[in-house]
Structure 1
Amino acid sequence: MPVYKQIEGNHRAIIGEFEFDLAPQDVWRALTDPEEIANWFSLRARVEGKVNGEIQFDWKPLFDFEWIDRITIWEPDKRLAFAPRPETVAKEGLDYLCEFVITTGKGKTKLTMVHSGFSTDAKWDDEFDSYFGGWNYELFSLSHYLTHHFGKQRRLIWTALNYAEHGITNPYKHLADSTGLFAEKSLRSFKVGDTFRFPLNESEIIQGKVVQLEPDGHDQFAGVIESLNQGLFRIGAGQRFFFAWLALYDMDEQRAVRIEKLFHERFAAALAQPA
């Protein structure tokens, strides 16, 4: 499987493996060019392209989270690695290495990601599971982007809420058990490979295939939107926030604006329904 867990001794890692019909320098650009990163990962990025430079991923205002690490390996078109800054290790006690390796063979470019250094101690379970859930989707997003949309700008249509600010304990469960969000069935009744239909109104229906459904117990749904040029649809939840988004490529501006309005209205109405 493309993303999996590995345990060796007292440490565990997250590993992702993918192949592409692209040149190594194109895969490298997707990992290190801030404009390219924004097409599959965070909303913004900052990369100081050198050893000991900083790499920063920023998701605000989608949700209040940014990730800043120190680059430990910088070998263009071959290897990138980053690890927490010393002040982060001192404050949070989390010390890992996230490494991307690009190789070639048999006419393909292979990308391997290894995010290692997580202790097997139970107190780190939530942290490890959070990273695994995130990479499970984000590496799929990277693979999908490089396979179908490389070089095209992503338009992200999103809605999000903080539990504490909105007084909703578990909006993902609220929506997953509801029969009013998707046409004809609840989110939780889907299986990977199923066709989903998400009506925004009578004429605008988001339709595609389910590619992830609560992987490893995580509150997460993801689908490829066949009706919107192979875009992506994601619904998920973290420890403090809930979010849903559409990642669209080559979208007519007027239609995108209309979809954005309908998308916000659809989720607001669904969350307002009694559990």
Structure 2
Amino acid sequence: MKNSNRAIHMAREINAPIEAVWKALTEAGELERWFPRRARVKDGKIALSWGSGVDWEMEIEEQQENKYLRLGYNEDHYKMVSNVPRRLAVEFFLEAKEGKTLLRIVHAGFGGESNWDEIYDGVRRGWDTESLSLQHYLEHHAGKDRLVALAQIKTKQSLQEAWNLLTREGITVQGDRYVYTTPLGGRYEGTLVYLNPPQDLCGTLLQLNNAMFRLTAERFTPGADVTIWAWIGAYGVPAEDVKAEEGRWQQQLNELFG
């Protein structure tokens, strides 16, 4: 059997003071600038929401300012895949390094059974991209509010079939630069942040003031439909431009999978 208490380990060096990273992890307004769409920090709890029923509520179990934060939770995840109660927890370790911050993330408590595989892998990949989103925010847009464009749809196609449709017009990568032609012929280009076919494309968007773009195909539980997300987090861009991009993506997803 696999490890009965699997853990995810992630490290990211961020070119920002340790105080800024701490605030980004613990203050609701700062969390909304890189992580969820809505956040609430109150009465020893942190509640995060991405919309469409994707919500986390975690208890602050321990914190040492600018050093360490531990958040614990249970029913949010284990009931998706198991009737056996489990206490999951995510820990953040911060270390100052010559004006930069080394952030380590440890997310533990996942079961070893196969029915945990998809949620474990989704959270692992999620921290890959979310930690990069935090880094991007603090290094390029610190102190600025974020506007989010989010389009999504479910499909019974396999991950590979969905990915083939999403990328049918092509992705080209040269060094750290990418060009992605969207299914309806739009052109995205910028710095490639993360590419993990057939599930993840993450990069910056030059045409939207160095926004962060994520395209994800996800299956949350065994046998579930694949959920496709197109997500843009933009800073200093007119709200109508972000809304228009959201509409274009929803149209593309509806035409491909609706």
TM-score w.r.t. length of structure 2: 0.80
Which residue, 26, 48, 65 being the options, matches 1:76? 65
In the alignment, which residue of structure 1 is the partner of 2:47? 56
In the alignment, which residue of structure 1 is the partner of 2:156? 169
Which residue, 230, 244, 247 being the options, matches 1:264? 247
Which residue, 15, 36, 41 being the options, matches 2:35? 41
Asked if the contact 1:197–1:208 (Cα under 8 Å) also holds between the matched residues in 2, the reply is no
In the alignment, which residue of structure 2 is the partner of 1:186? 170
State the distance in 2 between where 1:65 and 1:71 align.
20
State the distance in 2 between where 1:20 and 1:274 align.
38
Shift of 1:57: 0.7
In the alignment, which residue of structure 2 is the partner of 1:97? 89
State the distance in 1 between where 2:89 and 2:105 align.
10
Shift of 1:125: 1.5
State the distance in 2 between where 1:191 and 1:94 align.
44
Provide, for residues 19-56 of structure 1, a one-character-per-residue CA deviation record: whole Å limited to 9, x for no partner.
Answer: 2332222111100111111111100111136xxx2111
In the alignment, residue 209 of structure 1 is paired with which amino acid?
A: T
Which residue, 215, 230, 241 being the options, matches 1:235? 215
**Is it true that 1:213 corresponds to 2:195 in the alignment?**
yes
**Is it true that 1:224 corresponds to 2:213 in the alignment?**
no
In the alignment, which residue of structure 1 is the partner of 2:231? 245
State the distance in 2 between where 1:65 and 1:266 align.
20
More relative contact order, 1 or 2 (CA 8 Å, 6+ apart): 2
Contiguous gaps of at least 5 residues in structure 1: 1-7
In the alignment, residue 227 of structure 1 is paired with which amino acid?
A: Q
In the alignment, which residue of structure 1 is the partner of 2:222? none
Which residue, 5, 14, 17 being the options, matches 1:20? 14
Asked if the contact 2:152–2:253 (Cα under 8 Å) also holds between the matched residues in 1, the reply is no
Shift of 1:191: 8.2
Contiguous gaps of at least 5 residues in structure 2: 220-224
Provide, for residues 46-95 of structure 1, a one-character-per-residue CA deviation record: whole Å limited to 9, x for no partner.
Answer: 1136xxx21111111xx321001211112222211111158977966232
**Is it true that 1:195 corresponds to 2:178 in the alignment?**
yes
Matched residue count: 248
SS in 1 for 2:8: strand
TM-score w.r.t. length of structure 1: 0.76
State the distance in 2 between where 1:98 and 1:218 align.
27
**Structure 2 vs 1, CA of residues 194 and 118 (structure 1 numbering), >3 Å: closer, same or farther?**
same
Which stretch shifts more, 83-92 or 119-128?
83-92
Asked if the contact 2:170–2:180 (Cα under 8 Å) also holds between the matched residues in 1, the reply is no
In the alignment, residue 41 of structure 2 is paired with which amino acid?
A: V
State the distance in 2 between where 1:115 and 1:191 align.
33
Shift of 1:105: 3.0
Provide, for residues 137-193 of structure 1, a one-character-per-residue CA deviation record: whole Å limited to 9, x for no partner.
Answer: 1111111111111111111112122x2xxxx32396555323xx67x9435x76883
State the distance in 2 between where 1:201 and 1:118 align.
39
In the alignment, which residue of structure 1 is the partner of 2:122? 130
Which has more strand, going by share of residues? 2
State the distance in 1 between where 2:157 and 2:3 align.
35
State the distance in 2 between where 1:172 and 1:191 align.
25
SS in 2 for 1:59: strand
Asked if the contact 1:234–1:246 (Cα under 8 Å) also holds between the matched residues in 2, the reply is yes
State the distance in 2 between where 1:219 and 1:97 align.
25
Which residue, 101, 105, 109 being the options, matches 2:101? 109
Superposed CA RMSD in Å reads 3.3
**Structure 2 vs 1, CA of residues 218 and 57 (structure 1 numbering), >3 Å: closer, same or farther?**
farther
State the distance in 1 between where 2:76 and 2:228 align.
29
